[in-house]
Structure 1
Amino acid sequence: MTNLASIAIDMDGVLADVYAQFYDMHLAETGEEIPQTSMQGVTEHAAFPLLEKHVRTAGFFRNAKVMPSAISVVERLNQRYEVFIVSAAMEYPNSLLEKYEWLQEHFPFITWKQIILCGSKSPIATDIMIDDHFKNLNVFRGSKSYLFTQPHNIFADPGRHLRVNDWDELASYLL
């Protein structure tokens, strides 16, 4: 057992740039560009009409881009905190292997013991949680929670959660 503070870090929309993945797949399939402004303040399902098809497409989770500065900041966090990557993966079972492989490629310093692929994040009992969805943060019982800005939450009042816009800003709070 360790005395380090523990952190739960979400994958989609926090480590993995799924917005870019949705945008790129939509453009490739339809030839239509989706304006950035039309994504703001609406759910991902509303912003991307082919979302359900794309998340069920082989390679969607495996090929997502990494958020800028995520690798270096998480590597430093991993030296100072007990880090867990926590991702709701059960809704799209094909994502289980893809998310694991993606983490192994981009975050090789994260061991299999630090990866939690789950259905609900409500049982997560870390000290800190970083997520882009209120549905996960609002049930979190730890001491600090960070709302990672994404188009779907950009206009929302973060309430008791501290809003962070990118990994560099998050580093300024936690490192």
Structure 2
Amino acid sequence: MGSNNYDIDEEFPLHASAGASSERIDRRQAEESGNGDYDLLGEFLEAAKDETTKTVRFPVPGRKGDWILEIDVVISESELKRYNENALIGKARQGKPRKISQANMFAQMIAEKNVGIYKGDGADPAQVMDSDDEPLVLVSEQFLESVGEPNDVRAAVRKFLGDAGVGALGAAILLEAGWSEDLTPLDPTER
């Protein structure tokens, strides 16, 4: 019987180079900071505790005036499932599944993930604030009332963006979030 002992660096040469590279990075950063006790592992573990966030600003399609929607593009599989379930229309007939209204699905996603509305085309656009000096978002009462849909967020978003704008923005958000058109995760090495 052969020995179970083997040299992992010999068996997996990439492992050896990755380890050496990691040590070089750790040492270099400690030297640059002037702190010989730099703890890269500690920094990583601390960062891992934080909630994943990523906001992206998208121009509002079809609206004059350089309006921008800031969207949180971290979208979980359970959120996508909920958006789809809430966008079901019609009745299931003769074993055929109900259809999903893509416009309703995207409108709900856009409304829920919107974290700010801005005006301007420069590097520092102005954020729109409501009458209580809170950031205006697509689920704010003032927005819903202003577009004449105080009780229907999806209808308000569709009215504001138009169905084509909802579709274009929704697809762009999913792509930025790392989901493909068929709602499967994208391969990050192909981007």
TM, length-normalised to structure 2: 0.25
Higher relative contact order (CA 8 A, sep 6+): 1
Larger strand fraction of residues: 1
Larger helix fraction of residues: 2
